[in-house]
Amino acid sequence: MQTDFTVIGSGMSGLTAALVLAKHGRSVTLVERHPHPAPVLRGFTRQGIYFDTGFHYAGSLGDGEILDRYLRYLGLAPHLRKIPLNPEGFDIMRYTQSGFEFSFPYGVERIRQALLQAFPSELQGIDAFLNKVQQSFASSPFLNPGARYTAEHAFPEMDSESLGEVLARLLPNELCRSLLGVHCLLHGTAPEVVPFLLHTRIVGSYFETVCALEGGGRSLVNAFLQELKRLGVTVLCGREATGFEHSGDILTGVRLADGEVINCSGCVATLHPTKLAAMLPQSVFRQTYLRRLQALEETPSAYMIFGKLDNPPPTLLDRNYFILPRTDIDSYFRPDTPFDELPIYISASHGSGSGTSKTGVILLAAAPPNQVARWTDSRLGARPPEYVEFKRDILARLQERAERHCPELRGMALLEGATPLTFRDYANSQLGGLYGASHKITQSSPMPRTKLKGLYLAGQSIIAPGVLGTLISAMVTCANILGAENILQGLHECP
């Protein structure tokens, strides 16, 4: 098989990279090891109810905002219907020890007013923090088409100050700091170590308009597939890439598990870095680089419950809940924090079959991967009875905690569950981390360009996690291939 570019992996970055390259006239083959594209992003259905597993909501989806602009640039917008969440509180932060509850709105002025009402003595710090977030978000041309592009934007920008340091400097009130740090749970790295710049590039989108999608992540995947088909992209599912063909330090092809070689002059690999390291030719890459990829610390995994709730209260349909036992957000990322003191995220599923009479509900709690380490050698559909018993017990504990602190959930029927092993096997990661490798001030992420000419990297371990972060990762990688001006001009001119 001959193609200009092979894209490995059909998550958000892989789908985006394949579509952008095809839009610019390259022939593209997309390779996915699972039987269906985007196994995490697409979600699943049980008893007629659709459940999201990789998409719950996204920021900057209002008309003309950056994610909305990307969807129009990619040709996806006509296939999607946005569902705005509650602007007065799309996330409800419920602190169980103190009984304090905060409705986190979107829109900078709404956020400012809500914070000032709760913390009037923090006026100066709140204003300084919100201004820093807006300035940081707007400084990247990949987030703000009006920003000037320079060469430094072609690769991940470095930042030596953590979110925790900024919060501590600006805001004396611990609870206020906690509220402004809690969205670290949406990218998987603690405030004390996540670069402030990276954090703002992710959560800054939630300061604009926050929406779900009708049909959830599956509708997004279907929109990609329609556009990929229209542009003639070949999609190979159930085919695993296992290595690279090369001549010296120049890529010549991608080798599949069945022995077939896809001949190509370029490849965008969106694999987890630990998986990628085993595929890279040692004659081209230094051992120190390969070891660094294998040693990258991963973001936490999770336990998840997918349940059905008949006649849910309206408050569950247009907002999400964070059940927070502690104000110390950093503690949620430490392996010694007891399971019963970890936060719970609660979200309704916006897929087919959901509605006011019946809706899917998703519960998620962070999970250290070592809790299921004894079953690492097992695979989907072939877990031992001890694992099944463990999974049943821990999900029951999760459901009991959620219903105790969120009475709106009472009467929920559990339909399905997941553990770190589930995410490991579907996401093809090392330990089941929800957001790939952690982006920390003490850990350098791999760059989009590699020493093997023609091989490029993308994905949430490369630039940033989340729907917007992984999309931008693909855009930055494509800018390295096609030239940033070609990418950013099209984004700037997008109506």
Per-residue pLDDT tens digits for 446-491? 999 999 999 999 999 999 999 999 999 999 999 999 998 888 888 8
Percent of the chain with pLDDT over 70: 96
Residue 152 has pLDDT above 70, yes or no: no
Q: Is residue 227 part of a domain?
A: yes
pLDDT in tens, 111-140: 999 999 999 999 999 999 999 999 999 988
Q: Is residue 287 part of a domain?
A: yes
pLDDT in tens, 239-274: 999 999 999 999 999 999 999 999 999 999 999 999
Q: Is residue 63 part of a domain?
A: yes
Q: Is residue 138 part of a domain?
A: no
Using a CB cutoff of 8 Å and minimum separation of 24, what contacts does 282-285 make?
Answer: 284/246, 284/249, 284/451, 284/452, 285/450, 285/451, 285/452
Residue 354 has pLDDT above 50, yes or no: no
CATH number at residue 289: 3.50.50.60
Q: Is residue 241 part of a domain?
A: yes
pLDDT confidence of residue 353 = 46
Question: What is the domain range of residue 451?
Answer: 5-45+59-81+214-296+438-493
Percent of the chain with pLDDT over 90: 81
Alpha-carbon distance of 26 to 380, in angstroms, equals: 36
pLDDT in tens, 90-104: 999 999 999 999 999
pLDDT band at 164 (very low <50, low <70, confident <90, very high): very high
Q: Is residue 350 part of a domain?
A: no
Residue 352 has pLDDT above 70, yes or no: no
Q: Is residue 344 part of a domain?
A: no
As a whole number, the mean pLDDT across the chain is 92
pLDDT in tens, 366-392: 987 688 989 999 988 899 999 999 999
Alpha-carbon distance of 383 to 386, in angstroms, equals: 8
Q: Considering the entire predicted model, what is its pTM? A: 0.95
The answer to whether 62 and 70 are in contact (CB under 8 A) is: no
Please give the backbone phi and psi of residue 253, each rounded to the nearest 5 degrees, phi first. 180, 170
Alpha-carbon distance of 73 to 158, in angstroms, equals: 28
Number of domains into which the chain is organized: 1
